[in-house]
Amino acid sequence: MREKEFNLLKEPWIKVMTPSLEQKEVSLTEAFIYAHKYVDLSGEMPTQDAALLRLLLAVAVTVFYRYDAYGEEMELSERNSSNVEDVLERWKEYWEIGRFPEQAVRNYLESYSERFWLFHPETPFWQVSNLQYGTDYDVKCLFGNIKESMNKTTKHHFSMIDGEELYHLSYGEAVRWLVHLNAYAINLKADKKSPGTQLPVGTGRLGELGFIMVNGRNLFQILMLNLCVLSNEGIWGTPNPTWEQSVCTEQGRKIGIPDNLPERYTIQSRRIMLKRDSNGNITGFRALGGDFYPVENDIGEPMTIWKEKKVDKKTGEELPQTPQTHNPAVHAWREFPTIFMAKNENKQKSSVPGVVQWINMLYRAKIISISSLITFRMIGMVYGDQMKYNYGDCVNDTLTISAKLLNDLNTVDRVWINNVSDQIDKCQLVANDALNHFAYKLCKLLYGNASSKNGIKDYLIRQYYFSIDVPFREWLIGINPSQTKREDIMLEWEKQSYRYAKRTVEDYIITRVTDIYTSRIDDAKGGKAQLLSIPKIVNEYLAELNRIYIQTKNTP
């Protein structure tokens, strides 16, 4: 760290996608000035793009609050008596111009140029220049797309990276993984040699969230649609990103909940120091716990899905609300009830993700066309073990709806949102009840016991959800509350789901059951013996489907 090297404002390191679908590395300054010319971020994995997006948003929010759309210094703040209308008017001007004010971006970033050197004797980017304590890791632990086996006798790593690239990487790639490490770092035990040692520090901040964002036509639109420059209370506090703060080396420092987005988006979850060799290759790093604050009841976080608030049955007290992380086995559309807080008795506005509220506000203010579609993107890291000591699967899925359906959030009863949620609940009844009961009876018929029920059930559920995934997405996109009769559109889906659920069982019997005429007397413990046969259990399954989809009984 004795010499300055690799300035992020001038050197290429951010991977973007061009309109011709080619990858290109650009500097931080270029990413903003030409954001309208790039389609999207295009890093090594979705979680890396999510972490980089938060960094870019920290810059974008800061510039937005300090400069108008024409590049003139004009701060939005309470001390300047700015209000909600001022913020929305500025956002509209940015949006209509279609690009960030170039000179304002350059002026702002250049004023903090010293804080954007990857290597620096005092203030290396997102690092501590001379980190005395912490755990030492080799370079492969910096890669978020490396999976580690849990078998200690055959422990090895799995990656798409080959040869020497697994042990050495360029400065540009190192910065991307540095940002990812800070956001999604695995859990680590505090260094016992370090003063003030604490319990395991947990994952990086984004690893604790059910990350949700809005897609746009280009990088500029993506940043603007996720800007969320108004909080539930109105204007945010003065932007205070990490590069405007003094460097902190304290381990496990609990901080107050930030009152501004740039500080929140650049929280230093880890104290990190990169290591390099004489050839300019990153060879490893040292890390220990950094800043943190509770995720519970953190209603200021706009980019997460929330679990519904619950009440302690014994005390009657309201339990803390926590983020709901993504499950790789659950399609994004199945998270619809959680995202939009369907059937939320308390109508908790704070429970709807802030980014969803922000988009809804733009539509209500008629700043964005009400006729367009909105695509939400869910990204998440699923860690490889219960203690989150290594990386596992990556979640990356989208949910597209019409803006007019989103507008239902503004109604008292949220009838459309609740009806869509009902259909998702019915799909879950098909999976968890009807298919579960069918698997149990089929297993008893074929094997005389239910020992293999879970294998059959899991296969059937996967097949059912796989078969309805695309049709449900298409059905959801087609919902237009102003042009469609609600009862008709709901019945349309129920008929589809019924057919797919029926076909799931029929296909299984045709391909997996060798003798469809087999039968067995089941001597149920404590119950009456009954005859089991393929026709009987299929008819019982169809009867259960009819109870779920009452209006489809006569559907051929």
| Torsion angle, alpha carbons of 107, 108, 111, 113, to 10 | -100
- Contact status, residue 127 vs residue 266, Cβ threshold 8 Å: no
User: Which of the four pLDDT bands, split at 50, 70 and 90, describes residue 497?
Assistant: very high
User: Measured between alpha carbons, how far is 61 from 77 in angstroms, rounded to an integer?
Assistant: 13
What is the Cα–Cα distance from 532 to 537, expressed in whole angstroms? Answer: 7
Residue 286: partners with Cβ closer than 8 Å, 6 or more residues away: 131, 134, 135, 136, 137, 272, 273, 275
pLDDT at 1: 61
Tell me which amino acid residue 317 is.
Answer: E
Residues near 188 by beta carbon (within 8 Å), at least 6 away in sequence: 135, 200, 201, 287, 288, 289, 389
Per-residue pLDDT of 504-518, as tens digits, reads 999 999 997 877 778
pLDDT in tens, 426-464: 999 999 999 999 999 998 888 877 787 889 999 999 999
Residue 520 in contact with residue 445, Cβ under 8 Å? Answer: yes
The label of the residue with tokens 């519970």 reads: 296
What is the reported pTM?
0.90
**pLDDT grade, residue 160 (50/70/90)?**
very low
Query: In 3D, which of 309, 362, 300, 360 has the Cα closest to residue 338?
Result: 309
Rounded to whole angstroms, how far apart are CA atoms 295 and 297? Answer: 6
Predicted confidence at residue 149, as pLDDT, reads: 40
pLDDT digits (tens, 9 = 90+) for 108-131: 999 999 999 999 999 999 999 989
Question: 226-284: per-residue pLDDT in tens?
Answer: 999 998 888 999 999 999 999 999 988 999 999 999 999 999 999 999 998 888 788 89
> Is the pLDDT assigned to residue 556 strictly greater than 60?
no
Map residue 181 onto helix, strand or coil. helix
Reduced to 3 states, what is the DSSP secondary structure of residue 533?
strand
pLDDT tens across 80-111, in order?
999 999 999 999 999 999 999 999 999 999 99
Does position 199 have pLDDT exceeding 60, yes or no? no
- Pairing mode, strands 230-231 and 212-214: unpaired
| Per-residue pLDDT band at 349 (split at 50, 70, 90) | low
Length of the chain: 556
DSSP string, 24-72: EEE-HHHHHHTGGG--EE--SSHHHHHHHHHHHHHHHHHHHHHB-TTS-
Confidence of residue 209 (pLDDT cuts 50, 70, 90): very high
Radius of gyration of the chain (CA): 27
Please, what are the domains in the chain?
A: 5-292 (no CATH), 332-411 (no CATH), 416-552 (1.10.132.100)
> Region 56-80: what's the mean pLDDT?
96
What mean pLDDT comes out for the span 530-555? 87
Contact predicate 300/231, CB 8 Å = yes
